[in-house]
Amino acid sequence: MDCKNVAVIGAGSWGIALAYRLSSNGHNVTLYARRLESADRLKADREDKDKLPGVYLDEKINITSDMEEALKDMDIIVLTVPSVEIRNVCKKMRPYLAGPEKKQIIVNCSKGIEKDSLMLMSDVILDELPGSEVTVLSGPSHAEEVGKNLPTTIVVGAFSKEVAKKVQDVFMSDTFRVYISPDMLGIEIGAALKNVIALAAGIADGMGYGDNAKAALITRGIAEMSRLGNAMGGRFETFAGLSGIGDLVVTCASMHSRNRKAGILMGQGLSCEEACKQVKMVVEGVNSARSAYLLAQKYNVEMPIVEQINLIIYENKSAREVAKDLMLRDSKAENDVIDW
């Protein structure tokens, strides 16, 4: 494997975990932190004791808060900032990117839908950085486990197979298996909507519901995700894969999931705002819930779980009312594709 110069933009838990993974693979890694104090603390401790305790960054990983330094002579740029920050970060990156002859690859790891435009993250990146070689990385992959070298499998989507294979080769290791896919849209829809469904799963946990409810939310959640994704042009097979059902299962079931944590707190009676404050990290499902609902309306797709989560977040509807209304919806067939 050729050694690459890789910039990881964003020093949250996922950025730290991927910087660790890429450095372990033998690449020259620069990790960019937005705040100088964060960069200085990481340089001194080589660990973020709050976000990712126990994951140590090798001394050879360069840590900086200078965007120009972070992007200089890079082959691959990995974006791990929250989805609400993607557009602003791309604006800051623009003056320091190499020209099209360099063919720098941007790997987007942010999961969400832009609030006002309803654009997916790859489209936001292309809007700010036209002509970029944009790819997306997603799948069931908690930073806490990646940083501990626990087996993880993800998928990379790209416009061309050649570029997808380049990213695959850079990330692949004996504990980090990478598949490739041409369905970038499907991967990104799955990545964004699974966070909304995970909020619902967490709410059910917080209310004391059992495994039956969790299984139902996961199953009907993947149905909603795939309906919207198919309507937008994604492939059903993608939602049955790692970035669909795979990511949904891990996000709904694990206490590593900030979306599930926030949901649990909401199920216990806290407001959305109070729950997010307690989690102390960006809860992407809250950011994506409204956008998902608006996309469902735009494409005339039925998404009852997403609709009810919006009522909890934005109209203070009680979780018990939501559960009752979901259970008492009009009776229907499970699948309208299978005929009698």
* Residue of 51, 194, 214, 261 marked catalytic: 194
- d(CA 167, CA 145) in angstroms, rounded, equals 21
Task: Give which of 274, 252, 263, 271 is closest to 315, Cα–Cα.
Answer: 271
Q: Which residues contact 72 (CB under 8 A, 6 or more apart)?
A: 96
- d(CA 126, CA 107) in angstroms, rounded, equals 12
Looking at residue 242, the DSSP 8-state letter turns out to be I
- d(CA 9, CA 20) in angstroms, rounded, equals 13
| Residue 64 β-bridge partners | 32
- d(CA 151, CA 194) in angstroms, rounded, equals 21
The alpha-helical segments, DSSP class H, found in the chain are: 13-24, 36-45, 67-71, 86-93, 121-128, 143-146, 161-171, 184-206, 211-232, 236-239, 247-253, 258-267, 272-279, 284-298, 304-315, 319-327
Name the burial class of residue 230, with classes exposed (0-12), middle (13-18) and buried (19+) by CB atoms within 10 angstroms of its CB: middle
- Residue at token pair 């008492």: 328
194 catalytic, yes or no? yes
- d(CA 140, CA 152) in angstroms, rounded, equals 7
- d(CA 159, CA 136) in angstroms, rounded, equals 10
Task: Give which of 250, 187, 186 is closest to 218, Cα–Cα.
Answer: 250
Residue 251 and residue 257 in contact, taking contact as beta carbons nearer than 8 Å = yes
Point out the residues that are catalytic. Answer: 194
